[in-house]
Structures are given as C-alpha cells and as structure tokens.
Amino acid sequence: MTTTESPLLRPLRIRGLELPNRIVMSPMTRTFSPGGVPTEDVAQYYRRRAEGGTGLIVTEGVGIDHPSAIDHPDVPNLHDPAAREAWRRVVGQVHEAGGKIAPQLWHVGPLFGAMRTVEDVTPMRPSGVWGEPGVTSYPQEYVERAVVPTAAMTESDIADVIAAYADAARTSAEIGFDAIAIHGGHGYLLDSFLWASTNLRDDAWGGDMLRRTAFPAAVVRAIREAIGDDLPIIYRFSQHKQQDFSARTAETPEELGIVLGALVDAGVDVLDASSRRFDAPAFDGSDLSLAGWAKKTTGAIAMGVGCVGLGKSLRDGRLAGPTVESVDNIADLEQRLATGEFDLAAIGRLHLADPRIAETLRERRPLPEFDRRIHETVLT
C-alpha cells in the first residue's frame, strides 16, 4: 500500500473522541513514578509519543484507590493529591503536543505480590484461589507463595472495588483524560472473575459464563455512570493468564460472545484484544484473530495487539534474550484493518524503541530493533 492508502492513517471517531489515525500506544508498566506520582520525565515520555503522531496513548497501568490494587510503590495511582496534579501535567503535555491519552485503570487481584512481597495485605480473589499454575514466567518461589489460598472476596469487598474503579474514572475525567481504559485481562482482578479456575463462586458473581461476567460488567456500568456519555471506555481482555499462558476464558466463539457482549451492553466501546500475536488464529477452524472475533461477535470497535513489527512475543522475547529483531508484518496488519477485521492497532515495545513509531510507519522507514536492556530500563 502507498502511504496515502494505509488504513493505519485513517481517522476514527469513538463517542466524543476524534482520533487522527488508528495507531495506539499499548499500556506498558514502567515503574518510574516514585510513591505513585508521575515525574516530569514521565510527562515528557508520553509527550514524545504524542509528538511522534500516535493517535491515542494508553498509559501504563494506574492503581485504583484500594489497598491491594497495586504491589509496587513506583506504579502510579490516581487518588493521591500529588499524583492527581502530576497526571494533570502529563495530560497537559500530551494535549499541547496534539495527542490524546487514556489512563489504564488497574487492580492486580490474585496476582498481588508478583512485583514485590507485601506483608499484611490480603489479595482480592473471587474465591480465595490464585488459579491453577501452568505455563508461566513467574519464578517458582512466587508461585509457591501465591497458591496458598486466601479469603474469598466478600460482598463488601466487591462493592468497595467497584466504587474505587468509579472514583478513579471520575477523577480521570476531571483531570482531562480523553478516554478511560480498563485492564480486564491477564489473570488480574476483573479477568479472575471470568476464569473458571479462579471463580468458583455459586452466588450472583459466579456460576456459568454469563454469571462470571457480572462483576466486570458491574465495574463498567459504574464507570459509565461516573463519566457520562462522551468519553469512550476501552476494555483490555485476554484468553491467556499470567498464571497459565495456555489457559483460555472461552473455548468457542459463542462463549467469547457471551462475555464480550455483556461488557459492551454495560458500556464498553472498544474491545482491546490482548494476544501474544495480533495475527494468531483465536479458534480452531478459522484464521480470524482474537480482535477479529471480538468485533464479529459484538459489532463493537476492536483493537488488535501483539508483536506488531516484532518477531517474538513479550514472554518468548524475554526467554530468548535482551533483543528482539524487527519483522515487517505491517502489510498484514494493514490488510486486516482494510478488510475491517479490527479497527485499531495497539503497539507496545516499538513505542519504547522509537517514540516516533507512528511517523516511522507513516513514512515507511525501517522498523527499529527492541533491546530490553535499553528500552525497559530508561524513559527514552
């Protein structure tokens, strides 16, 4: 395709949000916010991506106001007064550069303690279990600690977490963010209600697949009520879990449609389909990707993510070594966008390697190589 024909460069309107192109910066945890407060370096880090032409920036995960939401002191939050003022500066810098930005609201749920050990805090788990261990990148020492059962979430716990999500979304809107993103994948709290291995409840919050969707749908409804009708809601979901990369939420497209349909009915606008490769078939018998099935089963806007411009997934890349060579799979990405399989392309590691990756794609320049030793250790 020529530059002018690239579907990556087409504008898109989502509720009150006007995007100049389909390129999204995928959320990536950075831990550069001491005490939960983003620094000026963080503001400039996001500004550089906006200056590079990225259509929408989704921030690193941002902790909601709950004791077990986040287990690292340098992950940003939205509830401390200093953090709120810092995010105002971040949003201001991005807007000044002509960009759009959304915070990714995060509660780690059963995976509390994976980033560091924290004493005297009970992880939020639907049924008190971590999940069946499988293919994971976590060290064995952590897994052995994590699989010890804890208390199941009470009705009070559930109500508190829903309220914390709504408060964080309300604050985000007041600060000036352009959309709200929710981390609902990878085995974290919202995803743990969907996964049969972690949700063993037999009350209104558990049971069959639709009943297991009740909690994340309640969070989405609370957020929609808190922010009104103008701001879009982006929801990241996944099949795989960090407890077990081979695990699946849905075994069939029909099951996937039950989950995602309930979330869309609750107020989700964009389904962020987190998979290890954006082009990987999601179910046997079809070449359609996870993002493609999300759109097909719900009709909602869908976003593909995973190995855009790179040859190895995040997990496989870590196992193979510090560098991941670029792979020019952009033509395939463009083709899927052109045919309407999905609507947005989320790019993670290449946004770390090249702050102007949107410009690089627009001008058809060579793709950068990702080097974890450089690109994960500093804010370039």
Classify residue 49: in a domain, yes or no.
Answer: no
pTM for the full model? 0.96
Classify residue 8: in a domain, yes or no.
Answer: yes
Classify residue 43: in a domain, yes or no.
Answer: no
Q: Using CA atoms, how far apart are residues 342 and 333, in angstroms rounded to an integer?
A: 10
Quote the percentage of the chain above a pLDDT of 70. Answer: 96
Q: Using CA atoms, how far apart are residues 367 and 101, in angstroms rounded to an integer?
A: 24
Q: Is 209 left (phi over 0), alpha (psi -120 to 50) or beta?
A: alpha
Task: Using DSSP bridges, classify how beta strands 323-324 and 301-305 pair: parallel, antiparallel or unpaired.
Answer: unpaired
Classify residue 118: in a domain, yes or no.
Answer: yes
* pLDDT tens track for 191-231: 999 999 999 999 999 999 999 999 999 999 999 999 999 99
Classify residue 77: in a domain, yes or no.
Answer: no
* pLDDT tens track for 79-116: 999 999 999 999 999 999 999 999 999 999 999 999 99
The total number of structural domains in the chain stands at 1
Angle at which helices 81-96 and 40-51 cross, to 10°:
30
Domain holding 298: CATH number? Answer: 3.20.20.70
Question: Residue 150's domain spans which residues?
Answer: 3-20+62-72+102-352
Mean pLDDT of 339-363: 97
- Which residues are identified as catalytic? 188
Q: Using CA atoms, how far apart are residues 73 and 246, in angstroms rounded to an integer?
A: 30
Band (pLDDT 50/70/90 cuts) for residue 378 is: confident
β-pair partners for 235: 182, 271
Classify residue 357: in a domain, yes or no.
Answer: no
Angle at which helices 214-227 and 155-175 cross, to 10°:
30
Classify residue 262: in a domain, yes or no.
Answer: yes
Classify residue 239: in a domain, yes or no.
Answer: yes
